[in-house]
Amino acid sequence: MDTVLDIRSKLSHFRILILGRANAGKTTILKKVCNSVEDPEIFNPSGEKAGRRIDPSIVQASAERGMHDIENQLIFKSNPQFIFHDSRGFESGSLEEIDQVKKFIRIRAWQYSLPEQLHAIWYCLPTDTGRPLLAADEEFFENDIAREGKPFLFILPLVAIFTKSDGLITEAFNGLRATGSSIKNARKLQANRARELLETNFLGPLRSTKYHPAGYVQLDDVFLLDMRKETSSCHELIETTANTIDDKALRLLFVSVQQNNIDLCVRSAVVE
């Protein structure tokens, strides 16, 4: 059985593709996972640090979509054992954008070299919107990225991350008020109503897709610490991701690379 040292001798990092719309909170999540307050450094596919020629918008948590190069590697000094890839948002539903992501997944999933392979996907979905699933989201989860008959969305661990749930709370509160609830009662019931909206508008539609996520996490809402607070963390995301990784060696690598959830490290060491 491989130990952490055995695995690290073969593979020193864990590679994650993070997808989602602009302003979905992707950069905030990555910073929390890596315990960083700074933006990541950018490296090209060859591992060379990018210079001024690279558009700085790819590391900004701004409303601007930018022209993200999915091949670039985002690495935080606080935890260089994580390598992240990001793509431009899916807002426009452009087939070119979707095809770019699928091509990246297809190539990376079939890399012969373990260090070059893609190991997991995080798909961020903001819940403060009147359009829960865009046509591009449906395209991603409904259509296979198969090669030689093997569907990659079944092979790669895929976790859906729901962010910005304050919009759900507002919608729930306003809905309760519209049906005659007092302000006090609406505030009392808004959390449960928000859960119902999450199920109806997001979880239900996603679960019904052909290649639905293996795990679901809700962040930045009334049930968890606000992601924007310095004291918040991504424990649930880390644990859910670990649980979606079937390969024991790869799961052990992921658990050893992450630095937030020490309890998970201990539990994994005992189980493995």
Q: Tell me the two tokens of residue 103.
A: 């091509």
* Token reading at 187: 């505030």
- Using alpha carbons only, give the angle 155, 158, 164 rounded to the nearest 5 degrees: 170
Residue 83 lies in a domain: yes
Over residues 33-62, mean pLDDT: 69
**Residue 153, pLDDT above cutoff 80:** no
CATH of the domain at 30: 3.40.50
pTM metric for this prediction: 0.81
Instruction: Give pLDDT, residue 145.
Output: 65
Between 245 and 9, whose confidence is greater? 245
Mean pLDDT of 16-24: 85
Does 265 reside within a domain? no
Q: In this structure, is residue 128 part of a structural domain? A: yes
Establish if 183 belongs to a structural domain: no
Number of domains in the chain: 1
Is residue 127 in a domain? yes
Q: Classify residue 94: in a domain, yes or no.
A: yes
The confidence score (pLDDT) of residue 55 equals: 46
Please tell me the least confidently modeled range out of 6-15, 68-77, 186-195, 210-219: 6-15
Specify if 67 maps to a domain.
yes
Tell me what the mean pLDDT of segment 147-174 comes to.
77
Structural domain boundaries enclosing 102? 11-165+207-245
Distance CA 121, CA 160 (A): 9
| Tens digit of each residue's pLDDT (9 = 90 or more) over 201-214 | 999 999 998 888 99
Query: Residue 65 — pLDDT band, cuts 50, 70, 90?
Result: very low
Q: Check residue 174 and give its pLDDT.
A: 94
**DSSP string covering 184-214, please?**
HHHHHHHHHHHHHHHIIIIIHHHHTSTT--S
Tell me, yes or no, whether 1 lies in a domain.
no
DSSP state of 226: -
- Residue 126's beta-bridge partner residues? 163
Query: Which is nearest to 126 in space by CA: 98, 165, 93?
Result: 165
Q: Across residues 77-90, what is the average pLDDT?
A: 86
Q: Which residue has the tokens 């996520």?
A: 213
- Give the mean pLDDT of 104-117: 80
DSSP classification of residue 46: T
> Position of tokens 């865009």?
134
Confidence at residue 47, expressed as pLDDT on a 0 to 100 scale: 76
pLDDT value, residue 4: 55
